[in-house]
Amino acid sequence: MVLYHGSKNIVEYPEIRKTVYNKDFYFGFYCISFREQAERWATRFGGKGYINIYQYTADSKLNCLKFSTMTEEWLDFIVACRLGKPHKYDIVEGPMANDTIFNYVQNFIDKKISRKAFWELAKFSHPTHQISFHSESALNTLVYERSDEVYGSKK
């Protein structure tokens, strides 16, 4: 399976980095299965970016979690991860909280909206897909192929 990672840099050797804030599935190396989405991510600040392309081969020995759709379990998992609670999974796959859904999740975390209100708002959103790698063994399932240079303009 081909996966993409949009970045301002060529990423020949993926790594897990801790950042200032917690992401949907906690700290990890995030990829997506849609090239257009990777291009948007790579050029989100305008100027030059890179679509890093990897061949992914699943490893049945790894502890993986997959969410096919946004569910109660998905929401609870994202809330826990964003609150800084680590998990035991090598790889997590599922819907990505885009900017709109990200705001709904944050409002839910901040108790500005109820769980019911979250689902009412989220039902009109169409999240994209992400797969995150959370261990060295998980990163070993990726083989770097190449990086394509892309350009964007900040709007």
53-94: pLDDT as tens digits = 999 999 999 999 999 999 999 999 999 998 999 999 999 999
**What is the chain's mean pLDDT, rounded?**
91
> In this predicted structure, which of 41-45, 85-89, 115-119 has the lowest mean pLDDT?
41-45
Q: Which pLDDT score, from 0 to 100, does residue 154 have?
A: 63
Per domain, the residue ranges of the chain are 2-152
> In this predicted structure, which of 29-33, 40-44, 113-117 has the lowest mean pLDDT?
40-44
Percent with pLDDT over 90 in the chain? 74
Apex 27 CA angle, 19 and 47, nearest 5:
55
Q: Which pLDDT score, from 0 to 100, does residue 155 have?
A: 54
